[in-house]
């Protein structure tokens, strides 16, 4: 018999890394609106995380703030320990933390840039996931969702090679987890297009953003809320037979 198909997350606990801004914030809102208790992880975006916490608590949604540097194993463990001590369970993990450290072609990329790119995008996901696995497995229906980047398609245009390599590693990590953890845990990934968020306000010029819009068949860049809808879908029973999949939310920008 097919599992019940619903977006209802009532009674479930979700942990979203990097939830203070952008896709992480939108995802936290989407999962909370669906009934999940939300662990709001943040590192550098304290103001955004606290504003999100205030917004969710004002709606009487269950949530808690979880500050940590996820590249440190002890701090990653503390995040999971604190959340599960509060709720007694962990059903959904959204590995969203990360970012582009600095644009540089590989021949000009410093070892520091390379290592930091891997640490904040891949190592952080590895450490958080490792701590979360026992709790996700215990539910019998855990879900892991990894946020990639369109750079896994482009190879990192405009000096984003180190970032692209890191996100490519996260894509392979998705496949590894999908094999190792099923059937108790399903693992999938999302490849957003160019998203209208703070990330591109920092790392992309207005001219670059306009070019990205022109390259997209739908004529515009992606919104964080659209990516969050995909996160909700993968976190829910609506995606009950998806494992190791990649959802492209880019408006068709890389159609072949």
**Residues with active-site annotation:** 163
Look at the block and give the residue holding tokens 């399903």: 186
Peptide bond just before 244 cis, omega within 30 deg? no
Geometric angle at alpha carbon 131, from 117 and 6, rounded to 5°:
95
C-alpha dihedral over 133, 136, 139, 144, to 10 degrees?
A: -140
Q: 52 near 25, Cβ under 8 Å?
A: yes
Provide the b/e sequence for 9-19 (b: ≥16 CB within 10 Å): beebbbbbbbb
Distance, in Å, from the CA atom of 215 to the CA atom of 209, rounded to the nearest integer, reads: 10
C-alpha dihedral over 9, 10, 11, 13, to 10 degrees?
A: 40
Helix axes 124-139, 73-87, angle to 10 degrees: 30
Strand partners, 187: 144
Distance, in Å, from the CA atom of 252 to the CA atom of 64, rounded to the nearest integer, reads: 36
User: 92-95 and 63-67: which strand pairing?
Assistant: unpaired
66: phi then psi, degrees, rounded to nearest 5: -135, 80
């Amino acid at each position: 018999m097919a599992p019940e198909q619903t977006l209802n997350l009532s009674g479930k606990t979700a942990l979203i890394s990097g939830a203070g801004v952008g896709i992480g914030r939108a995802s936290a809102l989407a999962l909370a609106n669906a009934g999940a208790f939300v662990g709001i992880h943040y590192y550098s975006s304290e103001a955004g995380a606290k504003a999100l916490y205030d917004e969710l608590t004002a709606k009487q949604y269950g949530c808690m703030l979880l500050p940590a540097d996820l590249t440190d194993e002890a701090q990653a463990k503390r995040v999971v320990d604190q959340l599960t001590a509060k709720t007694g369970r962990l059903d959904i993990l959204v590995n969203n933390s990360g970012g582009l450290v600095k644009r540089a072609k590989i021949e000009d990329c410093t070892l520091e840039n390379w290592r930091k790119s891997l640490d904040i995008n891949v190592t952080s996901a590895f450490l958080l996931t490792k701590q979360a696995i026992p709790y996700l497995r215990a539910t019998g229906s855990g879900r892991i969702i990894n946020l990639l980047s369109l750079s896994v398609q482009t190879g990192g245009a405009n000096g984003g090679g180190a970032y692209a390599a890191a996100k490519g590693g996260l894509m392979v990590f998705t496949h590894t987890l999908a094999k190792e953890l099923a059937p108790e845990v399903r693992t999938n990934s999302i490849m957003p297009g160019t998203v209208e968020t703070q990330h591109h306000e920092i790392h992309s010029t207005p001219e670059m953003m306009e070019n990205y819009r022109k390259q997209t068949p739908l004529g515009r860049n992606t919104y964080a809320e659209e990516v969050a809808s995909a996160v909700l879908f993968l976190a829910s029973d609506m995606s009950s037979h998806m494992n190791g999949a990649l959802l492209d939310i880019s408006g068709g920008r890389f159609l072949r």
